[in-house]
């Protein structure tokens, strides 16, 4: 009688099949890791580009605001003294900036954190495409 390992020499053994399955699983995991890494790099690149546009836009808006404030000071000068017109424009600018910061902080602190799902709009959640009647 032949030993078990020699009887199936033409066919792959269970051990070699298991080894190939493990290797395929490892390749699959490595491919998934590479895809995830590429996705993260793409997100980082888009975030950097978006951040650069935000900074550039903010700088341009600041320069525009400075010109508008200067023009407002010059327009108020015939009616009040130059220091008072500068102070009035500065107070309006300060109040506008504080309001924008306060609204932005409120929005950042109260907006729901979600992972790819739209934030709740106060309505009942939808299940199976039908609004919940409760």
| Residue 115 φ/ψ, nearest 5 degrees | -110, 80
- Return the structure tokens found at 105: 């902080």
- pTM to 2 decimals? 0.48
Give the DSSP H or E segment for 61. helix 14-76
Calculate ∠ Cα 103-75-96, nearest 5°.
5
Give the pLDDT of the chain (134 residues) as one tens digit per residue.
445 554 555 667 888 888 889 999 999 999 999 999 999 999 888 888 888 888 888 899 999 999 999 999 999 988 999 999 999 999 999 999 889 888 888 887 886 664 445 555 555 555 555 554 44
Rg over CA atoms, the chain = 33
- Return the structure tokens found at 99: 């309001």
């Amino acid at each position: 009688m032949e030993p078990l390992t020699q009887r199936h020499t033409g066919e792959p053994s269970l051990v070699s099949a298991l080894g190939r399955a493990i290797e395929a699983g490892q390749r699959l995991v490595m491919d998934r890791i590479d895809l995830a890494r590429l996705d993260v790099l793409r997100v980082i690149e888009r975030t950097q580009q978006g951040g650069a546009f935000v900074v550039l836009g903010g700088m341009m808006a600041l320069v525009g605001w400075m010109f508008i404030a200067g023009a407002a000071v010059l327009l108020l000068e015939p009616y009040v003294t130059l220091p008072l017109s500068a102070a009035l424009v500065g107070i309006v600018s300060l109040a506008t900036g504080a309001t924008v910061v306060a609204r932005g902080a409120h929005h950042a602190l109260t907006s729901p954190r979600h992972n790819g799902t739209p934030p709740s709009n106060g309505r009942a959640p939808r299940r199976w495409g039908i609004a919940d009647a409760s």
